[in-house]
Amino acid sequence: MNEKITPYQSATATKKEQVASMFDNISETYDFLNHFMSLGIDILWRKKAIAELKALQPRLILDVATGTGDFAFEAIKILKPEKVIGVDISDGMLEVARKKIKERNLGSIFSVQMGDSEGLHFDDNHFDAVTVAFGVRNYENLEKGLADMYRVLKPGGKIVILEFSKPRKFPIKQGYNFYFNHITPTLGKIFSKDNKAYTYLPESVAAFPDGDAFNQMMTKVGFKEAKDNRLTFGVCAIYTGVK
C-alpha cells in the first residue's frame, strides 16, 4: 500500500531508502516548518492525540517514526511514563532528537535509536502503548508496519496514530487542496534545502488510505476497537486501537 508514492521517484532506491534520505536532508528545518506551515495547530493535534492514553497511564511507550521527538516529548509531559523509546530510519532526525533530549535533561526517560518501523527489534508483548505521529503514510508496507506494532504491544495496550487526512466537505476540501498542493511546496522550497520533500508531502497524503480504510487495515492485523477522530475539519485524524 502506498509503495509507488516516493520522494524522489528513484528507480534504484526503495521507498524506505528515499524517505530516510529525505528526512536526513530536512532534519534541521523540520520542526520550524511543521509549526510554521500548520500555524502551530500541529502542537494542539499532538496534545489531543496523547490525551487518548491518559486513562491507560502507560509506563513504557514506543514512539515509532519518532523523528525529532516532539510526540514523545509531549507524551512525557502529559503522561509521566517511566520510559519512552523512539525509533526512526533517519539518523539526521534522530540527531536533532538527541540534542533536544540532552537540552531538556531527559536522557534517563527518553532514548532514541535507528529502527525500521516494519521490523522492530523488540520482544512480543513488550510495550504498554505505541505512538506514531505523521509517520505511517511513509511506510513502504503499511500493513506489515501495523502488524509489527501490534506484535510488540502488550495485551490490553493501546496504539495512537496521528496522521494527515483528507477533508471531504466544501469549501474546506478545495482550500486544503490548494494550500497543500501549491503553498506547501513553495514554502518548503524557500526554507528547506530539499524542495522534493514538500512535493512528496501532499502526494503521500493523497495516496494514504485514511478513515474507514485505515481502520479496516488496523482491524485486519488484529487491533480491536479501531476508530478515528477527525480534527480541524478533517485535515488530520487520530487513529486508536487496542490489543
CA distance 221 to 85: 23
Given a contact cutoff of 8 angstroms between Cβ atoms, the answer to whether 83 and 62 are in contact is: no
Q: Model's pTM, two decimal places? A: 0.93
- Tens-place pLDDT, residues 130-177: 999 999 999 999 999 999 999 999 999 999 999 999 998 889 899 988
In a domain, 41, yes or no: yes
Residue 8 lies in a domain: no
Whether residue 82 lies inside any domain: the answer is yes
32-55 pLDDT, tens digit each:
887 887 878 999 999 999 999 999
Alpha carbons 67 and 1: distance in angstroms, whole number: 22
Please report whether residue 89 resides in a domain.
yes
Q: Is 144 exposed, middle or buried (0-12, 13-18, 19+ CB in 10 A)?
A: middle
The structural domain count of the chain equals 1
Task: Give the domain extent around 165.
Answer: 15-242
Rounded to an integer, what distance in angstroms lies between the CA atom of residue 151 and that of residue 222? Answer: 9
The reply to whether 4 falls in a domain is: no
CATH of the domain at 211: 3.40.50.150
Determine, yes or no, domain membership for 59: yes
Query: Terminus-to-terminus CA distance in the chain, angstroms?
Result: 23
Element (H, E) at 227: strand 224-231
